[in-house]
Chain A
Amino acid sequence: MGRYILYRLISAVPVVLGITVIVFFIMSLIPGDPATAILGAYASPENVAKLNADLGLDKPMVQRYFIWLGNMLGGDFGRSFSLNRPVLDEVVERFSATLVLAGVSLLICSVLGIAAGVVSAARQYGLADKAITLAVLVGISIPSFFLGMLLILYFAVHLRWLPVSGMYEIYGGRTFGDLLRHMILPATALAAVATGVVARLSRGAMLEVLRQDYIRTARAKGVGEGGVIWRHALRAAMVSIIPVLGIQAGFVLSGAVYIEVVFQWPGVGRMLVDAILKRDLMLVQGGVTFVAACYVLFNIIVDVAQSLIDPRIKA
């Protein structure tokens, strides 16, 4: 197992390097440079040239890439000019906010999605199955940012039960309950689509497993129906559900961009959107590299988790 993990980690290095190359050169190629973004209407060619020199952007592109990569290996991700603070401080702070939101959404979509899938498979074509299938269809079809706005309008503006936006109350706050109240709406909006996908997939996987001989054997042995479904069938179905959860983790992370904008969640998605519009090269490059590296890491964790459940995958 240790060897398998080490192998996976080493093979991730070229992937992350490739990401740095892509993000660096894409950011260099898109039109509109940082100096124009900073100066706005005052961006005369002369002012732009001077500011680019101040920002160190007058050096050749390849040279800039290696300077950036070298600094990053030494732990220095550079300084964001639009926020005027070190990139790494900002990215870590914002990524943790995204992780909290995405983590809770992933939890919601895993628990609710699998439960819904299992229930609907066990009661195939029953009333529960039909109701769940319909709910899943709605969940998958509704764009998350739109659902988010509807939730804000109803629960925050109309009923005033929950806060509109942000992660904590400006005053007091900072408690777990406060975080929870701010989390309910964005996490629900973010989890909706993923829950639907997981539910559909779990239903399919469960139906597949429930037809297997060993399930019949288990029933014949006299195992109760609950035991058959949750212990025997679900464990076997998890092998095909877990990789989907891994993929959904990626979708939830990227979907967080919209939700973070709608709910003003101080996460990394909103940060990247702002940074791209401001042509904050260092922040985009550092942010994308950091997030991508984490994503690669998650995939490794999912694979390892799967190899723990399914002995056939073990290297």
Chain B
Amino acid sequence: MRPHRLTRRAVLFSSAAALTLATTGLRGPLMAQTPPGVLILGQVAEPKTLDPQAATAANDFRISVNVFDGLVRFKDGTLEVEPALAQSYEISEDGKIYTFALREGIKFHDGSDFNAEAVKFTFERMLKEDHPFANTGPFPLAFFFSSVVSVEAPDAKTAVFTLSEPYAPFLANLATPTGYIISPAAVEQHGADFGRNPSGTGPFKFAEWRANEMVAIEKNPDYWDGPAASDAIVFRPITDANTRTAEMLAGGLDIMVEVPPVTLSQFRNDQYHIVEAAGAHLWFLILNCQDGAFADKRVRQAANYAVNKEALVNDVLEGTATVAAGPTPAAFNWAVNNDLAPYPYDPEKARALLAEADTPNPKITFLVTEGGSGMLDPVAMGTAIQADLAAVGFDVTIQTYEWNTFLDQVNPGLSGKADMAEMAWMTNDPDTLPFLALRSDAFPDKGGFNSGYYSNPEVDDLLNRARVSTSQDERADLYKKMQVIVQDDAPWLFVANWKQNAVATAAVQGLVLQPSFLLTLKSVSKA
């Protein structure tokens, strides 16, 4: 037995020694330290593409907003549009012709010139099926510009857009990534791989993409609007929220976006700072106004009174959202009706309305999703809402679906399936959500998203007029009227507006979140 006993000891000893060596001897000097001048940012997923016309996800936009510019951009901290690559613009009387005077002397990162031909190329690639580079798509959000009939370049510094009809959100759409101007030379060179070799005019130029590891962009020293404050930014995809939090705590990240509400408390100390901004986001329940109990307006109002929105945003969402008053998020400051107060939490009033409608115990089928873009914490929220509704007499049955399956259920309309469904939208113009989801002409069978079949001719008229108006004041007035009617009609149960958040180490300066959800990092630096 003796030799064997020695062997065992030898094995145990050597493995212990190996472990010690591995954990101490190999410790790198750079461990848990990020290099100076370079911001390391924890993203939620691997980007799909850096081709701004092909991208659809906020995750991809966080990178492309720093590499590209649009003709116009959102003013810092607002959703109002200001000139960017265009020095100025003019809109014709009838609202159909937009003429942009372009800045001169700007070059794309690949060295080619930015000019009106590049503008024309950008939009024709996306909109014209016979364009030589139309096959570098698909371009899922091209319908933002479906009203564009032609883009002309009469000279190098003038771009003229002709629309089929007046379309007020046009400028705001130009300020989104789908409207960013790309380098025609880079598309010609890389074809469908342009999304992995992007070239724009932005404050940072694309440097490297290591699949599933990182995307790096570096300072463009010749940026027309002054050079960026950091030398480079590295975007790391870390899908698992716990791992992202651990990486931030271990010092491997300078900035982390989309901090899960439950982990925010870990960062409430002087080593970190938390930044928040209300976004143009609305979390609501679609109510089926066509059949079932919610066909009665009083029952829909009762539901709005019955749900304790304050408790939802403070307890379930840990303060990462605010209570929504109506269909238009407060982030659209110019278009929102500030006289509108949210439905108060009033179970007594809810019971009274149910009694008045002669349905004290309406049976409700409620579609809930497990997760999804902008859906926050949909299962916990759905359950809390179910409990609040039950407290005033509703009999609510929840059906839970995975996100894509959920959309397949909800988007074709709720009729015959459910009375109520969760939904969330992030938009960049006050027109988008109500126009696509509240008009009579936006029923699912007409290609819209009005899955609850809300129909009010007055609202239709206000929205149609707002869309063709070119005066912001007139549009604001129309939207404010619309909000009052829609809130009273209660086709939705208005719940929350999400405050996007991010955490940065104390050394990071200048980090501000925008209501557009676009993460501009030009003036962010690390001490």
Query: Is A314 an interface residue, CB under 8 A from the partner?
Result: no
Query: Is B252 an interface residue, CB under 8 A from the partner?
Result: yes
Contact pick for A36, options B35, B54, B404, CB 8 Å: B404
Contact pick for A47, options B49, B143, B424, CB 8 Å: B143
Kindly state the separation between the CA atoms of A170 and B249 in the bound complex, as whole angstroms. 17
Decide: B23 and A155 in contact? CB cutoff 8 A: yes
* Distance in Å: Cβ of A272 to nearest Cβ of chain B: 13
Decide: A172 and B251 in contact? CB cutoff 8 A: no
Among A175-183, A207-215, A302-310, the one that faces the other chain is A175-183
Give the contacts of A47-87 with B (CB-CB under 8 A): 47, 51, 54-55, 79, 81-85
Decide: B242 and A149 in contact? CB cutoff 8 A: yes
Q: Known: A44-B447, A172-B30, A225-B3. Is A152-B246 also a contact (CB below 8 A)? A: yes
Decide: A47 and B140 in contact? CB cutoff 8 A: yes
Decide: A44 and B246 in contact? CB cutoff 8 A: no
**CB-based nearest B residue for A155:** B23
Decide: B239 and A32 in contact? CB cutoff 8 A: no
Decide: A44 and B411 in contact? CB cutoff 8 A: yes
**CB-based nearest A residue for B35:** A171
Q: Known: A84-B196, A157-B250, A225-B1. Is A181-B26 also a contact (CB below 8 A)? A: yes
Query: Is A45 an interface residue, CB under 8 A from the partner?
Result: yes
Decide: A152 and B140 in contact? CB cutoff 8 A: no
Interfacial chain A residues near B237, Cβ < 8 Å: 264
Kindly state the separation between the CA atoms of A171 and B35 in the bound complex, as whole angstroms. 8
* Distance in Å: Cβ of B375 to nearest Cβ of chain A: 10
Kindly state the separation between the CA atoms of A279 and B444 in the bound complex, as whole angstroms. 23
Interfacial chain A residues near B436, Cβ < 8 Å: 44
Query: Is B240 an interface residue, CB under 8 A from the partner?
Result: yes
Q: Known: A32-B408, A51-B138, A165-B243. Is A83-B448 also a contact (CB below 8 A)? A: no
Interfacial chain A residues near B407, Cβ < 8 Å: 32, 36, 40-41, 43
Decide: B240 and A180 in contact? CB cutoff 8 A: no
Decide: A84 and B26 in contact? CB cutoff 8 A: no
Q: How many residues of A contact B (CB 8 A)?
A: 71
Interfacial chain B residues near A153, Cβ < 8 Å: 246
Query: Is A231 an interface residue, CB under 8 A from the partner?
Result: no
The contact string, 1 if C-beta is below 8 Å from chain B, for chain A 211-240, is: 000000000000011100100000000000
Query: Is B212 an interface residue, CB under 8 A from the partner?
Result: yes
The contact string, 1 if C-beta is below 8 Å from chain B, for chain A 134-169, is: 000000000000000100110111001111111111
Query: Is B460 an interface residue, CB under 8 A from the partner?
Result: no
Q: Known: A32-B405, A55-B138, A161-B27. Is A262-B243 also a contact (CB below 8 A)? A: yes
Decide: B140 and A163 in contact? CB cutoff 8 A: no
The contact string, 1 if C-beta is below 8 Å from chain A, for chain B 14-42, is: 01000000111011101110010010100
* Distance in Å: Cβ of B403 to nearest Cβ of chain A: 8
Interfacial chain A residues near B206, Cβ < 8 Å: none
Decide: B214 and A170 in contact? CB cutoff 8 A: yes
Kindly state the separation between the CA atoms of A82 and B48 in the bound complex, as whole angstroms. 5
* Distance in Å: Cβ of A182 to nearest Cβ of chain B: 10
Decide: B238 and A264 in contact? CB cutoff 8 A: yes
Query: Is B236 an interface residue, CB under 8 A from the partner?
Result: yes
Query: Is B7 an interface residue, CB under 8 A from the partner?
Result: yes
Query: Is B234 an interface residue, CB under 8 A from the partner?
Result: yes
Query: Is A39 an interface residue, CB under 8 A from the partner?
Result: yes
Contact pick for A225, options B4, B242, B403, CB 8 Å: B4
Q: What are some 25 contacts across the A-B interface (CB < 8 A)?
A: A31-B408, A32-B405, A36-B408, A41-B425, A41-B449, A44-B447, A46-B447, A51-B138, A51-B140, A54-B137, A84-B195, A90-B211, A157-B246, A163-B31, A164-B243, A166-B213, A168-B213, A169-B28, A170-B40, A177-B26, A180-B22, A184-B23, A264-B212, A264-B243, A266-B212
Shortest beta-carbon contacts, A-B, top 3: A32-B404, A266-B212, A46-B447
